[in-house]
Amino acid sequence: MDNLTHTLFGLTLARTPLGRAGRGATATLVIASNVPDVDILSTAGGGVSYLQWHRGPTHGPLGVVGLGLATAAAVWAVGRLWDRRAGRDDVDARAAPAPAFSTLAIVATLGVLFHVLMDFPTSYGTRLLSPFSWRWYAADVMPIVDVYLLIALAVGLAFGEISRTSRRRVAAIVLTLMAANYGLRVVAHRQALALAPRLFGPLPPPCNPQPRRSIVDAWPRDGESDVSAGTTCLVEIAAMPTFLSPFRWRVIADLSNGFELHDLDVLDARFRRDATNGDVFWRRSARYPKQWMAATLTAAATRTGGVFLGFSRFPAVRTFTDPGGVTTVRWNDVRFVAGVWPGDVQRRADLFSALVRVGPDGRVIEERLGR
């Protein structure tokens, strides 16, 4: 999720019983709700460094505990310093009590944990077990920015300012609306996957005779890099949420030799008709190849290629060789191609595409993120 959503959610949590922890609880929840994204400091090393570390250890078990303790320590220390400078060693009984460090630590750790739990359902995913495992996990039910979640949180906070006596009741209503939003998207996601066979027409047999059946997707998977097998097979079908509507999805068929993409509205009346009525959806599918060859393997061994492939769930790859013998290998993560962001074709392309150029002698000439 974006940091505005995390901040508004932290302020909403401060109007629940967590906010009764004492003086500094609100600041603790707001900071803790954002602190896992401290990995943005890795941008100092460039885009590849950011892609390598983003949603890594700061979103794993050590990060949840460590950042929770660090946040609590910072707020507790600032509170103690403020009291001493203001001569408030004996705090007025009417003032909010200074909480114990242990209380702040629990509140802060919960705030960090909620940040990770809000990132996990997005199509971007998060590395929940980092640094013990660098695999990505996602539930694919939420966009990176959910406008409805933002509106619910902002409106709830505004009403809480108008009527301070009903703050906790309004916060409870907002949290209920959030749960309903998540539930609606879960149901729509399952429906999108159920309708996928209508979109793509006849698909090849699955690569794995015993396909995965899990609400959680994880990548990279063992053996997934071997895409040059002789026969075409189906790796998986996934549905990615879109920005504006919980009923519109980007459905991706991951084949051993490429990807097929199709936009889907689960409320489309055509899907309520019989499957034999002549609607041929597959003719409007977009196709992206996986062109793996010797130069592609060389490019994948570079730092840029390795980091990008470790991040990308669906890395489409094209390979071009110019008259001088220089081969250009270009990857795109098809989760983030045109259509994910309204009015924008592949926003943040610096992160979601990679390019490596290999000379005729096999030496890497250039490697970078972006077009």
Higher confidence at residue 213 or residue 130? 130
pLDDT value at position 346?
42
Does residue 347 carry a pLDDT above 70?
Answer: no
Q: Token pair of 123, please?
A: 């199509």
pLDDT value at position 226?
46
- Which residue blocks in the chain are alpha helix, DSSP H? 3-13, 25-32, 47-53, 61-85, 101-119, 147-162, 167-200, 294-300, 303-311, 349-352
Residue 301 domain-assigned (yes or no): yes
Does residue 206 carry a pLDDT above 50?
Answer: yes
Residue 74 domain-assigned (yes or no): yes
Q: What is the residue range of 330's domain?
A: 291-371
Q: What's the maximum distance between 2 C-alpha atoms anywhere in the chain?
A: 82
What's the burial of 297, exposed, middle or buried (CB within 10 Å: 0-12/13-18/19+)?
A: middle
Q: Which of 311, 304, 280 is nearest to 358 (CA)?
A: 304
Mean pLDDT of the chain: 87
Does residue 261 carry a pLDDT above 60?
Answer: yes
**What integer is the mean pLDDT of 99-122?**
95
Asked whether 157 and 257 are in contact (CB, 8 A), the reply is no
Q: Distance between CA 282 and CA 89 in Å, rounded? A: 72
Residue 330 domain-assigned (yes or no): yes
Higher confidence at residue 59 or residue 91? 59
pLDDT value at position 200?
85
Residue 157 domain-assigned (yes or no): no
Final residue of a structural domain among 138, 165, 184 = 138
For the chain, what percent of residues have pLDDT higher than 90? 64
Residue 212 domain-assigned (yes or no): no
What's the burial of 220, exposed, middle or buried (CB within 10 Å: 0-12/13-18/19+)?
A: middle
Residue 97 domain-assigned (yes or no): yes
Final residue of a structural domain among 138, 173, 208 = 138
Strands, sheet with 327-333, edge to edge from the N-terminal-most edge strand:
315-321, 327-333, 353-358, 364-369
pLDDT value at position 275?
59
Following CA atoms 260, 266, 268, 273 in sequence, which dihedral angle do they give, to the nearest 10 degrees?
Answer: 90
Q: Distance between CA 58 and CA 56 in Å, rounded? A: 6
Residue 314 domain-assigned (yes or no): yes
Lowest mean pLDDT among 98-102, 106-110, 171-175: 98-102
pLDDT value at position 41?
95
Does residue 92 carry a pLDDT above 90?
Answer: no
pLDDT tens-digit map of 262-289: 999 999 888 777 655 555 565 678 889 9
**What integer is the mean pLDDT of 45-58?**
94
Residue 120 domain-assigned (yes or no): yes
Residue 350 banded pLDDT, cuts 50, 70, 90? low
Does residue 238 carry a pLDDT above 50?
Answer: yes
pLDDT tens-digit map of 141-164: 999 999 999 999 999 999 988 877
Q: Distance between CA 323 and CA 337 in Å, rounded? A: 29
Domain count along the chain: 2
pLDDT value at position 284?
72
Final residue of a structural domain among 112, 138, 164 = 138
